[in-house]
Amino acid sequence: MESINPATGQRLDSYETHDADDIDTALGTAQSAFVDWRSQSMAHRQTLLEKTAQLLEERVDEYAELMTHEMGKPIEQARAEVRKCAWVCEYYAETAAEQLQDELIESDSDARTLVSYDPLGPILAIMPWNFPFWQAFRFIAPNLAAGNVGLLKHASNVPGCALAIEEVLQDAGMPEGVFQTLLISSSEVDDIISDDRVAGVTLTGSEGAGRAVGQRAGQQLKPSVLELGGSDPFVVLDDAPIEATAKRGAFARLQNTGQSCIAAKRFIVHDAIYDDFVEAFVDEVEALTVGDPTDEDTDIGPMARPDLRDDLDDQIDRTLEAGAELLTGGEAVDGEGAYYQPTVLTEVPRDSAAATEETFGPVASVIRVSDETEAIDVANDTDFGLGASVWTSDLDRGEVFARQFEAGLCFVNELVKSDPRLPFGGVKNSGYGRELSRHGIREFVNAKTIWVQHGLGEDDTSDDSYAGVE
């Protein structure tokens, strides 16, 4: 498995992949580790998460540089990603005990009834390259806190990041087998999901990968969480502050070089301010610096792989052929690296590639609408349902509008983002299940009902006392 710098096309390193025997050993180690890990006190597990957070903070520059070299993330954004991983570890170190404490539920007056939340076992995480540390840690922190153990199948272009994640957890004192990285191909995933030693699976990735993983998990009657693609609407109402909204919109679309599931992708703009917004938006996009991702002044780096750049270029060409207009960008950058010009398309037809497919790179599609009714219709006219945002000077109006979005993450006057304190996930073809917050930590646990009867008398065993019992 090779690591290639997308800014230069040069090989960074090569890594020995794991074979069938290695996988079998890892699964056995995970199963054994789970028996001990689940019996450890919550306080102990939380202490190790706190230590992990400390190490991440100490190694911000080291891990940021690794990300930047392996997948091209601008360096300051890479540092922010490592710090966010520390945050999610700190969050569950502080909150996991409360989120998983026994829940008393009132039932019969002569019984004590409750729900306990018990870990399931080894969980397989299949993670993407675009946020190589964050995507993994938003799985790791809640699941290790809950008493599960993790197996990571990371994207094949970030093997260095995958091993660094394993390293920092080991250095924090996590016992052997509590978290392991598997350097394997996607073709080996089905057999791992089917293995009796794996209790569940989570995937962040494409719709196609999600369907395959969800199908296999369903066949094995194992729980799964899928966070798939998005084509997030960014709705600009007629009373939105144009300059401020355009500035936020440019960042919402182009952070991480546009390679984000929750990036704003379809800009749906009220006709009354359409021309003014487009002018301000293009100015903001053209002001961003494209360049070497290790340079502190770079806003937009290379795309992660040349083939991804080619796919984006094809989507733009098909959208232009369908009748859209090109205002800026629209071409690959000459020279080394998988760079693509930041691109703005306007008058984008609703049935064109950029409006119906996920565009995973630095291109924004702008669609004109006549009123709020048409705006929400266009916003929801997609197979995806991950995130959505609306921009307005009237917060009450914004909230009423946001409640109409068919999406899992709905924001008013803020770009769509993940936050450890709030559930994260989508609907429709964007997947199911939730990560983060108390919702995420309860995805891979057994919500166990416990009934403790206070007394057992003659009346309790009468035929009448069991009338209607299933």
Give me the CATH number covering residue 223. Answer: 3.40.605.10
What phi and psi values does residue 124 have, to the nearest 5 degrees? -90, 130
358 in the same domain as 257: yes
In this predicted model, what pLDDT tens digit does every residue of 240-283 receive, in sequence order?
Answer: 999 999 999 999 999 999 999 999 999 999 999 999 999 999 99
Q: Which amino acid is at 164?
A: A
In a domain, 98, yes or no: yes
Longest dimension (CA), the chain: 87
The answer, yes or no, to whether residue 465 has pLDDT greater than 80, is no
The answer, yes or no, to whether residue 463 has pLDDT greater than 80, is no
Tokens 């100490």: give the residue. Answer: 58
Region 148-177: what's the mean pLDDT? 98
194 in the same domain as 65: yes
In this predicted model, what pLDDT tens digit does every residue of 203-240 receive, in sequence order?
Answer: 999 999 999 999 999 999 999 999 999 999 999 999 99
The residue range of the domain holding 367 is 232-412
When pLDDT is cut at 50, 70 and 90, the band that residue 468 belongs to is low
The answer, yes or no, to whether residue 41 has pLDDT greater than 80, is yes
224 in the same domain as 236: no
Contact (Cβ atoms closer than 8 angstroms) between residue 82 and residue 135 = no
Token readout for 114 is 């409750």
The answer, yes or no, to whether residue 107 has pLDDT greater than 60, is yes
In a domain, 462, yes or no: no
62 in the same domain as 98: yes
pLDDT of residue 458: 53
Region 318-345: what's the mean pLDDT? 97
According to DSSP, the residues that pair with 126 across neighbouring strands are 153, 203
The answer, yes or no, to whether residue 460 has pLDDT greater than 90, is no
Token readout for 260 is 């984000």
Q: Three-class SS of residue 315?
A: helix
Residue % of the chain over a pLDDT of 70: 97
Region 358-373: what's the mean pLDDT? 98
Contact (Cβ atoms closer than 8 angstroms) between residue 243 and residue 275 = no
241 in the same domain as 177: no
User: Count of residues for the chain?
Assistant: 470
- On whether the pTM is more than 0.85, the answer is yes
In a domain, 421, yes or no: no
Q: Which amino acid is at 122?
A: P
Average pLDDT of every residue of the chain: 96
Q: How many domains does the chain have?
A: 2
pLDDT of residue 101: 98
436 in the same domain as 383: no
Region 311-330: what's the mean pLDDT? 98
Q: Which residues are catalytic?
A: 227, 261
pLDDT of residue 194: 98
182 in the same domain as 64: yes
In a domain, 13, yes or no: yes
When pLDDT is cut at 50, 70 and 90, the band that residue 14 belongs to is very high
85 in the same domain as 104: yes
221 in the same domain as 242: no
When pLDDT is cut at 50, 70 and 90, the band that residue 314 belongs to is very high
Token readout for 433 is 């299940």
The answer, yes or no, to whether residue 84 has pLDDT greater than 70, is yes
Helices 395-402 and 372-380: angle between axes, nearest 10 degrees: 40
Closest CA to 285 of 257, 247, 312: 247
In a domain, 460, yes or no: no
In this predicted model, what pLDDT tens digit does every residue of 381-392 receive, in sequence order?
Answer: 999 999 999 999
When pLDDT is cut at 50, 70 and 90, the band that residue 470 belongs to is confident
209 in the same domain as 248: no
pLDDT of residue 466: 59
In this predicted model, what pLDDT tens digit does every residue of 424-438 receive, in sequence order?
Answer: 999 999 999 999 999
Region 69-82: what's the mean pLDDT? 98
When pLDDT is cut at 50, 70 and 90, the band that residue 461 belongs to is low
When pLDDT is cut at 50, 70 and 90, the band that residue 165 belongs to is very high
The answer, yes or no, to whether residue 467 has pLDDT greater than 90, is no
Q: Three-class SS of residue 186?
A: helix
223 in the same domain as 326: no
Q: Which amino acid is at 297?
A: D
E strand intervals along 221-374 = 224-227, 232-236, 264-270, 325-328, 343-346, 363-369
The answer, yes or no, to whether residue 160 has pLDDT greater than 70, is yes
CA distance readout (Å), 419 to 367, 372, 422, 424? 29, 28, 6, 8
Region 7-28: what's the mean pLDDT? 97
Contact (Cβ atoms closer than 8 angstroms) between residue 290 and residue 298 = yes
In a domain, 420, yes or no: no
278 in the same domain as 152: no
In a domain, 465, yes or no: no
pLDDT of residue 464: 55
In a domain, 215, yes or no: yes
Contact (Cβ atoms closer than 8 angstroms) between residue 30 and residue 153 = no
* Gyration radius (Cα) of the chain, Å: 24
**DSSP code of residue 318:** H
Closest CA to 45 of 139, 140, 164: 140
pLDDT of residue 469: 66
